[in-house]
């Protein structure tokens, strides 16, 4: 149990090749070196489950390792339970970390692996045994306690690694892509195990992943990062509904949000989006946000999630799309539609009305999207126009 505060945290790595590689990746480089993490600010509440998500190289592991004390903090302050931690040794931070590679000791049994972090403590053999058993039960690995790691599956190994991390009742549990070595099915299963674990042990979690689905299902709040910079912090719902910029909009949600060129039209207190000939009125909530920001008529990028692009009812504004590809996914069909030469994806959920419709290639559909579900972006700044100046 702990609160964790990161205030203006920065990580600068010395640039060995004059920063060539880093610059190529798009990272900022200055006289001091490569800016791998910049001005990272986050207040983590006690027992909160925080997820860091973003593409490879965005600084997720570096930030996590700075919290654990495995990486020096170049600038800024790290507080755990209101105590400054910058110069505190990793072992004195009372934090446990789980890695993608499990990092188990191969010559030790599961029991010995899990007992290892307690060896240095003043606990008696019985007390250690009790704690190991307790953790093993939480993780369902009691029956493997006398096995060596090599006789375990990937999922079982990762459970042991988690067990070893939680025997000490750490203040916080840090996990760096713990599931990415597992196959898709096992990953889903372990994801629910982590949700259960979270209910059983009362601790603060920080979880790193590049998988947005994992982030959305696990996090109380998600920190989306790109090139060392926080893009947005929010609940899964906030990120999904109100992405702050094109990057977050494209990163969160699958299939990816459709981005189309369009125009914003203001009429009195109302706003309309003109996209591929359809004039769609935005919801009152969106109009109010835009009014507050003082947004006038302008060119925009229209963001529509595939789940929200649907067949228009009689009388609704629509654009016409011709089916290029139709992917049957079971209860859903992913349609790739050609709309004035651009590719728009629509996810159609099967209903008893549409199940015999037949979404064959070449068919033309009248499509629309509700004005409450459209996101609009400034093409120059790539920011969401509803929140642009926030
Ligand atoms: N020891 C180091 N020296 C120099 N640069 C480093 C060092 N460690 C990491 N970097 C750079 O810092 C940036 C952030 O790396 P980091 O490992 O935190 O990314 P990540 O978000 O965890 O990515 P991934 O998803 O690939 O694990 C990367 O561009 C990386 O090349
Ligand atoms: Mg990493």
Average pLDDT, the chain: 94
**Residue nearest to ligand 1 atom 9, measured at CA:** 62
CB-ligand 1 contact for 249 (6 Å cutoff): no
Q: Considering only 212-216, 269-273, 386-390, which range has the smallest mean pLDDT? A: 386-390
Q: Report if residue 284 sits inside a domain.
A: yes
In a domain, 388, yes or no: no
Number of residues that this document lists for the chain? 390
Examine residue 384 and state whether it is found in any structural domain, yes or no: no
Tokens of 19: 């920063």
Final residue belonging to a domain, choices 247, 277, 299 = 247
Domain final position from 227, 247, 267: 247
**Spatial separation of the C-alpha atoms in residues 20 and 33, rounded to whole Å:** 11
List, as one string, the DSSP characters of 327-374.
EE-SSEEEEEEEETTEEEEEEEEP-TTTTTS---TT-EEEEE--TTT-
Give residue-wise pLDDT tens across range 105-164: 999 999 999 999 998 888 899 999 999 999 999 888 999 999 999 999 988 999 999 999
Tokens of 387: 């929140």
Verify whether ligand 1 is closer than 6 Å to residue 210 (CB atom): yes
Instruction: With CA atoms as reference, report the closest residue to 204 among 180, 234, 172, 174.
Output: 172
Looking at ligand 1, which atom is closest to the CA of residue 63?
18
Range of 289's domain?
248-377
> Each residue of 328-365: pLDDT tens digit?
888 899 999 999 999 999 999 988 888 888 889 999 99
- The first and second tokens of residue 28, run together, are 């900022």
243 vs 252: CA distance, rounded Å: 8
184 class by beta-carbon count within 10 Å (0-12 exposed, 13-18 middle, 19+ buried): exposed
Residues 205 and 293 reside in one and the same domain: no
Structure tokens, 293: 């920001």
Shortest-distance atom of ligand 1 to CA 177: 27
**One domain, residues 157 and 66:** yes
Supply the DSSP symbol for 146: T
For the chain, give percent helix, strand, coil, nearest 5.
30, 35, 40
180/142 Cα distance (integer angstroms): 24
Per-residue confidence (pLDDT) for residue 178, from 0 to 100? 92
What's the pLDDT band for 97 if we cut at 50, 70, 90?
very high
Last residue of a domain, one of 194, 222, 247: 247
Interatomic CA distance for residues 280 and 271, integer angstroms? 9
Clarify whether residues 275 and 159 are in a common domain: no
Query: What's the Rg (C-alpha) of the chain?
Result: 25
Q: Is residue 383 part of a domain?
A: no
Given its phi and psi angles, is residue 313 left (phi above 0), alpha (psi -120 to 50 degrees) or beta? Answer: beta
C-alpha 377/C-alpha 105 separation (Å) is 51
Predicted local confidence at residue 326, as pLDDT = 94
User: pLDDT-based confidence at 61, cuts 50/70/90?
Assistant: very high
**3-state SS, residue 21:** helix
Residues 286 and 336 placed together within one structural domain of the fold: yes
Q: What is the CATH number of the domain that holds 315?
A: 2.40.50.140
**Nearest CA owner, ligand 1 atom 28:** 57
Give CA angle at 375 (258, 355), nearest 5°: 50
Q: Say yes or no: 17 and 90 in one domain.
A: yes
Its pTM stands at: 0.94
Nearest to 377 by CA among 258, 278, 277, 218: 258
**39 falls within a domain:** yes
- Is the pLDDT at 21 greater than 90? The verdict is no
- Is 386 within a domain? no
- The pLDDT, as a whole number, for residue 390 is 66
Q: How far is CA 311 from the centre of its chain?
A: 30
Q: What is the mean pLDDT of residues 22-44?
A: 93
Q: What share of the chain in percent tops pLDDT 70?
A: 100
241 plus 273 within the same structural domain: no
State the CATH number of the domain containing residue 151: 3.40.50.300
Q: What residue owns the CA closest to ligand 1's atom 2?
A: 13
Q: Please tell me whether residues 201 and 260 are part of one structural domain.
A: no
Q: Is the CB of 34 under 6 A from ligand 1?
A: yes
Determine how β-strand 364-368 pairs with β-strand 319-328.
Answer: antiparallel
Cα 60 to Cα 53: distance, rounded to the nearest angstrom? 7
pLDDT at position 76: 98
121 and 211 belong to one structural domain? yes
Out of 60, 224, 230, mutate this one to test ligand 1's pocket (max ligand atoms within 8 Å of CB): namely: 60
Does one domain contain both 315 and 199? no
- Residue nearest (by alpha carbon) to ligand 1 atom 30: 57
Q: What is the pLDDT of residues 208-244, one digit of tens each?
A: 999 999 999 999 999 999 999 999 999 999 999 999 9
pLDDT (tens digit per residue) in 157-205: 999 999 999 999 999 999 999 998 888 888 898 899 899 999 989 899 9
pLDDT of residue 144: 94
Q: Would you say the CB of residue 27 lies under 6 angstroms from ligand 1?
A: yes
**Does residue 112 lie in a domain region?**
yes
Q: Which of 81-85, 268-272, 358-362, 375-379 has the lowest mean pLDDT?
A: 358-362
Considering the domain architecture, whether residues 67 and 211 belong to the same structural domain is answered as: yes
Q: Are residues 369 and 259 located together in one domain of the fold?
A: yes
Q: CA dihedral in degrees (42, 95, 59, 242; nearest 10)?
A: -40
Phi-psi region of 104 (alpha: psi -120 to 50; beta: other; left: phi over 0): beta
Domain tally, the chain: 2
**Residue 1 in this model has a pLDDT that exceeds 80:** no
As a whole number of angstroms, the distance between CA 220 and CA 309 comes to: 28
Q: Are residues 237 and 291 in the same domain?
A: no
């Amino acid at each position: 149990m702990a609160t964790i505060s990161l205030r203006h945290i920065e990580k600068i790595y010395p640039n060995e090749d004059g920063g060539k590689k880093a610059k190529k990746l798009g990272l900022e480089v200055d006289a001091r070196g490569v800016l791998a993490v910049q001005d990272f600010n986050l207040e983590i509440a006690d027992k909160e489950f925080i997820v860091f998500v973003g593409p490879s190289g965005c600084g997720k592991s570096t930030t996590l390792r700075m919290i654990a004390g495995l990486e020096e903090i170049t600038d800024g302050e790290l507080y755990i339970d209101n105590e400054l931690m910058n110069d505190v040794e990793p072992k004195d931070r009372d934090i446990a970390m789980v890695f993608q590679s499990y990092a188990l000791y191969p010559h030790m049994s599961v029991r010995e692996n899990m007992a290892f972090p307690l060896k240095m403590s003043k606990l008696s053999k019985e007390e250690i045994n009790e704690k190991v058993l307790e953790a093993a039960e939480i993780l369902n690995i009691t029956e493997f306690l006398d096995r060596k790691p090599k006789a375990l599956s990937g999922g079982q190994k990762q459970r042991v690694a988690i067990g070893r991390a939680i025997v000490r009742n750490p203040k916080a549990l840090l996990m760096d892509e713990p599931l990415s070595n597992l196959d898709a099915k096992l990953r889903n299963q372990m994801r629910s195990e982590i949700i259960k674990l979270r209910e059983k042990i009362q601790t603060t979690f920080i979880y790193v992943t590049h998988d947005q689905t994992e982030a959305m299902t696990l996090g109380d709040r998600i920190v989306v990062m790109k090139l060392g910079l926080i893009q947005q912090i929010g609940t899964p719902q906030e990120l999904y509904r109100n992405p702050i910029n094109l990057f977050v909009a494209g990163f969160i949600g699958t299939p990816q949000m459709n981005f189309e060129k369009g125009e914003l039209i203001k009429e009195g207190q109302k706003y309309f989006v003109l996209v591929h000939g359809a004039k769609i009125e935005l919801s009152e909530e969106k109009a109010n946000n835009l009014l507050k920001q003082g947004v006038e008529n302008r060119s925009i990028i229209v963001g529509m999630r595939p789940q929200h692009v649907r067949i228009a009812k009689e009388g609704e504004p629509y654009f016409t799309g011709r089916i290029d590809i139709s992917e049957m996914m079971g209860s859903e069909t992913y349609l790739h539609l050609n709309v004035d030469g651009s590719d728009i994806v629509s996810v159609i959920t099967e209903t008893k009305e549409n199940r015999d419709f037949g979404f064959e290639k070449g068919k033309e559909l009248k499509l629309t999207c509700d004005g409450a579900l459209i996101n609009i972006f400034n093409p120059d700044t790539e920011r969401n126009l509803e929140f642009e100046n926030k």
